Amino acid sequence: MTDTSLLFTVPYEQTGGTGSGEGCIEFSPNGAYLAVAGCKPKVSLFDRTGELLHEVILDPSSASASDPSVDAQASTFVSSMAWDKNSDNLAIVPRSSQSVIIWSAVTRESFKLDGHLKSITWLQWATHAPVLACGTEKGNLLLYDVRKGRKTPVIGIHSREITCGAWSEDGILALGSVDKSVSLSTDAGDTIKQVRCKAPPHAMHFTSRASDGPSSQPRQKTLSVNVGQKSIYLLNPDASGPDSDVPVELAFLQKYGNIISHCSFGDGYSAIAFSSGQMVCISTASREISEEVHSAVYHRNGISDMQFCTALQRIVTCGSGEIRMLDASRPELVEMKDKNVDDAKHNFTQMRWTEDGQVLAVNTTTGEVKCYLASLPQIHSTYDTTLCHLTSLLEFSIVEMAHDPNPRSVTVEFEPAFCALGPYHLVSGMNAQAWFYARPSADSSLAGTMLDVREYVGTVQSIVLRGEMCAVLTEGRVTVHPVASAGGADSGATDTVVPDTTRPADVECIAASPSILVCGTATGSIMCYFMQTEGENEPPTVKLVNEFKHGNGPIRQLHTNVIGTRVLFEDGRGMVYLLNPVSDTCLPCPKFANKLDVALWDAADNAMFVLADNNEISLFVSRATSINGAFIKHIATMRRPAGSLPVLFRKGIVTCQSPGGLLHDVSFEEVRMLSEAEAQGTTMNERHESKLRAELSMLRHEDAWQTLQKIKMPNTLDSTVLKASLEALDVGTAIKVARRRGQAGLVMTLERLQYVEDRNLLAGHVCVLLLQDYQRAQELFLRSSQPWAALEMRKDLKHWEEALKLARQLGHGGVSEICCHYASMLEMRGETENAIAQYEAALQGSLDGGADAMVLSEEVRADVQQQCRGGMARCLIRMGDLRRGRQMALDEGSKMLYKDCAGILESQGQLGEAAELYERGGEIEKAAGIYIRTKNFDAAKPLMDMVGQSRLHGQFARAQEAAQKYEEAAVAYERAGDTGNVVRLYLGALSMAQKAFAVARQSRNPEAAALVARHCQSTGDHRDAVEFLCLAGMVDEAFELAESQNEMDAFASAMKASSAATSKNSQHLIAAAKFFEAQGEFVRAGDVLYGCGQLNGALKMYLKKGVSAMDKAIQVVGEARNDSLTTMLCDFLAGEADGAPKGNNYLFKLHLALGDYEQAAHTAVLIAGQEREMGNYKQARDQLLDVAKELESRNIRIPNELVRSLQLLHSYILVKTLVKSNNHVGAARMLCRVAKSISKFPQHIVPILTSTVIECQRAELKRSAQDYAAVLMRPEHRDLIADAYRKKIEALVRRPDKTAEDVDDEIIPCAHCGVDGPAHDLECMACREMLPMCIATGKRMHPDQWSRCPSCHFPCLQTEMVQHLAAYKKCPLCSESIPIAAVVKMPNQLAK
């Protein structure tokens, strides 16, 4: 399907065919006339709709008069035609004629121009003036000036036939001749130069190409010549010099064929059409002239003609039954397949295009001329979301873009030049006339009906429809009138004209909303009028409500949003601004400096608009409120589709109209990102983040908040949304985001600001919160309704100097308080004199009352007075007035003030006064330090008990020692932590050796220990001397002394307690170990070696000692984790050394120490088995329980073997408790469980079986009683049965009840799989899993009664355990006292 539609066809009968020629077709410059000539002696002129307007009848004798041999019917009657752009004259040359027929489109009359030259072969009108150039068969030239009526013949410009030519814009005429030359002449016929060619020129035209220099240099005028249909010559007409006549030749591949046509387009590019159907594009710039930019075949059967339309930037080619349209907006030509024409019935030979590119005329070999609508004038209008656009020369389509995409058509009487759409009407018109039609959706009975025709006093410059009113701009004034209904009698009602006659008629442009008319004037004024209808057949009321004066020249364009609250306008300098007519705020549009072509407001968003120039479309968003006031934000820019006109902007989507009248939508990437389906990202979170960023960029903060809620994890986008919301003063959204971020303080602050209506006040608070721009915030506060907020801000920020200025400026109370704070700041800066002045002013103000008394409470005023007096005291002391300053401090009586003044005095060297004030202020250490420094020990002594600094105590101690006050000196040394001097005094002057020993041991000070060691040696106390030598780190001396005085035991003990034993001197410890080994004290030797890390030697010593040191040996092996040591110990336990194997208890401990818990558990089972075989059932159970608890504490699974052994032993031990609780069924079930493994209880087989028989009888388990009675009657057991039960058991065996059965056991579901099973069966028959046992009853665990002992953590049935604890208070397994409340129900611990 194509949108290049056939308008009309000029039939063969009209032209008489073309014979063997191609015929002639030419459009007038404005496209109003199409001249067609064929074999008939006439030229037919048609309008754009195909209506025959006129025929120019030619004299048949004028053709072939000079060449009678030519058959008149074999070729077209007219050889060439040309229109004059300056006068709408058509020049016609009959074939082989000596004269030219000139027809005037204005008068519709023709006259004959006879130049008395033979056979005119070429003619063309000049572009700069109404001058016609005619070339002849003999190479002569005729110039005819229409205005002057002057003919100028030029003889001999060429020697042979002139075949082609071209005029430049500055009046240079280029001619090509069969004599293989190109001549350049002036418009007077004077030859400028002549250039020789390789072949006769075929066609030529003037163009321009880029120079070789910088891009700022002007482009070169160039003549492009098709030479011999094989190459292109590029000539510079303005060039001079020896090489000026040498052209640049562009040659092409021979396979391309002959050059049919060529044209220039774009930025110095040329398109060449070849007979083979090939199209080639090249650049004429010197640096890339040899390269083909584009090459493609568009016609398989060859190209017959090519034309270029500058208005559309398109190239059209034709061939056999094909017309191809190419987009030439870029060097790489793009085929516009939707505009191609395929007609196999016709062979297209020649094409002509109207200058605006709307109509394309194509000649055919059959003589028919077909005219196609190649593009439409882009006439359109919008109302809200409804678009009206021209889809044919006499038809409009109306599309409701938001609700009904199906177009409704309205046919008009005349080809329109403008249109306007309203809610009920459509108006179209041209010049000063306008036709009003009913909108198809307005009234089905009148849909598309013409309602009225109006003719205005001048040409309509602009027209808008709003409601029932129409505003028309003509001759600088705006006429506002109601739209007449069909058949109405008031189509000529009195109109309202604005501005009135008291103002100049200088309106340049208009725009309107439903009730507001906006006019822009040539003097830069923008006037807003309120429009209102007064009643039927009454003129509307139009009142001026606002006038804004813009000082930058005339207003060129106006565009108002849907509700009329914002106006976009372009001024005389080409700048685009946004005007708020309510506040007269005018903002320039950022990042848009090009010539404005189209401006569109979003029909759904009154703050969003687009601006378009010829190449780009830019998206903007405006906001009336922000911390910086109203602003415009540039969002994005996209490339404008070539040849398309933006006509509607709705929900961020721009609807464009193509030159063919088709509509298509384009959108910005940022707008597409608003859709989750279009948002970028691989995960949903990433798409949400992409969408959120687009919403923030378009200032849609509430939408951004909704998207932010969909993002699962908080991230940096939270703070971005918060900041953007605050900048836009959107406090509601900011509160939601701050609450999401958990910023409680900020939420509370914003909630206090949420209902602040004063924008300046709100912006000031946000400036403080967000930007910390305090000067900007102050300016906003001062412009607000609460200017004292600026003062409060400065006070909160402690900007006291600014606060003082504001307080005095605003006449606000509390000046004395601010002066006080300001004085404190000056005091800190060292500006003492200024500080005293401010303190005095603050003190005087607080005492006088006045405004401060009204603002400040009594407590605050008293505090100000106190601070002022204290500040004055400090400042006086700094200034040297010590007496007065000290007295003021004493009078004030503040400890803090005492400290401050004391510090100042100390810095000034007034130590005595400083110490006194320090003492009064509670700074005891500073006072004591000064007293000691000044040697005033008497004053310092009572303070020393309150001093904590070691340095002061040391100074005081030295002073007391010098005064021979040794006890006080020792106390002071001890407080100073100087242990050496304390020990020295105790051993020397005070003779208190035991105190010295205690101090040395406690402090472990090497110096003190050395003093004590020397004292002990001097007194013969060798054991203590060894100890203190070790403490002093004198290990060598200690070892020698211990060895010589047989005090090795003391040495080993001291080294064990000393840190030196683990880092050095290990050789002395090894020697000590050898000493102990020689003495036979293997354990002591092993301990010494273990202490110094000699684990191998330590193990050997412990093994020499034997079983009594086995626990220590196991500890060594467990720590070492060494295979050789482990093997050594295992061999010892196996008895390989002495042939006597040691107990399994040691193996169990060894496995635990090595972390081999499975083997430890296995060993524990073996040990428990030994205990069980000896009848020590409780000991065996407790040992297994300990191992189980140890494994559980290490998160190690308890082996099933250990669990089974523990369950079996605990089942037997439970019997006594169950019998005591009168639970004979439970006791019988436990005994049956034990009896099944009776071989594991060899010491008590008969008693256990006897008890089993008795309890089974009590529990009605008759079958089990008989079975176990039969076991007892076996020979090996019979004699061991107690006499009290022998007869009963014999009776059961001798007289068995063959029908006896056990009562059914209770049913409990499996904790693993949920399948029911007997309560006392600890293995599930369905899943074959071993089940946990209740430690209170011996039953399997019920999934719904799960609990456990809080001490041993073994499972129990909650109800049963509670009953047990109520009776016995202790856990039946671990025997720990358990409160009943501690046994709580738990979920099934084995649930999957």
The per-residue DSSP string of 670-681 comes to HHHTTSTTTS--
pLDDT at res. 1062: 46
**Any idea which residue has 């002395």 for tokens?**
1068
Q: What is the DSSP code (8-state) at residue 338?
A: G
Closest among 825, 796, 795, 827 to 812, alpha carbons compared: 795
SS3 359: strand
Helix axes 895-907, 882-892, angle to 10 degrees: 160
Residue 612, strand partner residues: 598, 617
Query: In this predicted model, what pLDDT tens digit does every residue of 408-455 receive, in sequence order?
Result: 889 998 889 899 999 889 999 999 999 999 888 645 566 778 888 999
Q: How confident is the model at residue 211 (pLDDT cuts 50, 70, 90)?
A: low
List the alpha helices (DSSP H) in 937-1005: 937-940, 950-962, 966-976, 979-987, 993-1003
Instruction: Say whether pLDDT at 851 is over 70.
Output: no
Decide if 657 contacts 647 (C-beta within 8 A).
Answer: yes
Query: In this predicted model, what pLDDT tens digit does every residue of 779-789 receive, in sequence order?
Result: 888 888 888 88
pLDDT at res. 755: 87
Q: How far is CA 594 from the centre of its chain?
A: 31
- Which amino acid is it at 1338? G
Rounded CA-CA distance 465/381 in Å is 10
Q: Judge residue 1370's burial from the number of C-beta atoms within 10 Å of its C-beta, 0-12 exposed, 13-18 middle, 19 or more buried.
A: middle
Report how far apart, in Å, the C-alpha atoms of 185 and of each of 133, 165, 173, 188, 202 are: 11, 11, 5, 8, 18
pLDDT at res. 70: 44
pLDDT at res. 853: 56
In the chain, what is the straight-line distance between the N-terminal and C-terminal CA atoms, in Å? 67
| pLDDT > 90 in the chain, percent | 31
**Who wins on pLDDT, 1002 or 186?**
186
Q: How confident is the model at residue 1153 (pLDDT cuts 50, 70, 90)?
A: low
Helix axes 1245-1258, 1283-1294, angle to 10 degrees: 60
Instruction: Say whether pLDDT at 395 is over 70.
Output: yes
Instruction: Say whether pLDDT at 912 is over 80.
Output: no
Q: How confident is the model at residue 1060 (pLDDT cuts 50, 70, 90)?
A: very low
Rounded CA-CA distance 369/14 in Å is 10
Cβ neighbours of 248 (radius 10 Å): 15
pLDDT at res. 258: 94
pLDDT at res. 1056: 62
**Report for 77-86, 505-514, 1072-1081: range of highest mean pLDDT:** 505-514
Mean pLDDT of 1320-1335: 91
The H or E element that residue 390 is part of is: strand 386-392
Report how far apart, in Å, the C-alpha atoms of 715 and of each of 718, 728, 735, 741 are: 6, 21, 17, 9
Q: Judge residue 273's burial from the number of C-beta atoms within 10 Å of its C-beta, 0-12 exposed, 13-18 middle, 19 or more buried.
A: buried
State both tokens at 207.
């163009």
- Which amino acid is it at 1300? A
Cβ neighbours of 884 (radius 10 Å): 14
Instruction: Say whether pLDDT at 1123 is over 80.
Output: no
Whether a cis peptide bond, with omega within 30° of 0, leads into 499 is: yes
Q: How confident is the model at residue 1061 (pLDDT cuts 50, 70, 90)?
A: very low
Report how far apart, in Å, the C-alpha atoms of 1269 and of each of 701, 1294, 1303 are: 90, 10, 18
Instruction: Say whether pLDDT at 1369 is over 70.
Output: yes
**Any idea which residue has 């070892």 for tokens?**
1039
Rounded CA-CA distance 1370/1351 in Å is 10
Decide if 40 contacts 73 (C-beta within 8 A).
Answer: no
Decide if 475 contacts 416 (C-beta within 8 A).
Answer: no
State both tokens at 1255.
């309890």
Instruction: Say whether pLDDT at 279 is over 80.
Output: yes
Closest among 1112, 1011, 1122, 1029 to 1068, alpha carbons compared: 1029
Residue 510, strand partner residues: 519
- Which amino acid is it at 1231? L
Query: In this predicted model, what pLDDT tens digit does every residue of 942-951 receive, in sequence order?
Result: 777 777 777 7
Query: In this predicted model, what pLDDT tens digit does every residue of 853-874 receive, in sequence order?
Result: 556 777 777 787 888 888 888 8
Closest among 1085, 1081, 1035, 1074 to 1058, alpha carbons compared: 1035
Q: How confident is the model at residue 68 (pLDDT cuts 50, 70, 90)?
A: very low
Q: How confident is the model at residue 1054 (pLDDT cuts 50, 70, 90)?
A: low
pLDDT at res. 1140: 65
- The reported pTM is 0.57
- Which amino acid is it at 124? Q
The dihedral of CA 506, 512, 518, 522: what is its sign? negative
Rounded CA-CA distance 1200/1182 in Å is 17
Which of 796-805, 988-997, 1114-1123, 1203-1212 has the lowest average pLDDT? Answer: 1114-1123
Query: In this predicted model, what pLDDT tens digit does every residue of 956-999 receive, in sequence order?
Result: 777 777 777 777 777 777 676 676 676 776 777 777 777 777 77
Q: How confident is the model at residue 72 (pLDDT cuts 50, 70, 90)?
A: very low
- Which amino acid is it at 135? G
User: Residue 44 — φ and ψ, nearest 5°?
Assistant: -95, 140
Rounded CA-CA distance 418/1154 in Å is 101
Q: What is the DSSP code (8-state) at residue 254?
A: G
Q: HEC profile for 256-267?
A: HCCEEEEEEECC
Rounded CA-CA distance 665/674 in Å is 16
**Who wins on pLDDT, 1082 or 562?**
562
Rounded CA-CA distance 989/82 in Å is 139
User: Residue 989 — φ and ψ, nearest 5°?
Assistant: -65, -35
- Which amino acid is it at 653? I
Rounded CA-CA distance 80/76 in Å is 10
Query: Rounded to 10 degrees, what is the CA torsion of 1039, 1044, 1049, 1053?
Result: -30
Decide if 600 contacts 654 (C-beta within 8 A).
Answer: yes
Rounded CA-CA distance 336/332 in Å is 13
Strands 110-114 and 131-136: unpaired
Rounded CA-CA distance 1114/1123 in Å is 13
Rounded CA-CA distance 442/290 in Å is 62
Query: In this predicted model, what pLDDT tens digit does every residue of 569-606 receive, in sequence order?
Result: 999 888 999 999 998 999 999 988 888 999 999 998 88
List the alpha helices (DSSP H) in 1157-1282: 1157-1173, 1177-1193, 1200-1220, 1224-1235, 1245-1258, 1262-1272, 1275-1278
pLDDT at res. 598: 93
Rounded CA-CA distance 633/1377 in Å is 77
pLDDT at res. 695: 85
SS3 822: helix
Q: How far is CA 887 from the centre of its chain?
A: 66
pLDDT at res. 533: 81
Instruction: Say whether pLDDT at 1152 is over 70.
Output: no
Rounded CA-CA distance 800/827 in Å is 13
Query: In this predicted model, what pLDDT tens digit does every residue of 455-479 receive, in sequence order?
Result: 998 999 999 998 888 999 999 999 9
Rounded CA-CA distance 1325/717 in Å is 59
Decide if 1076 contacts 1048 (C-beta within 8 A).
Answer: yes
Q: What is the DSSP code (8-state) at residue 857?
A: -
The H or E element that residue 657 is part of is: strand 653-657
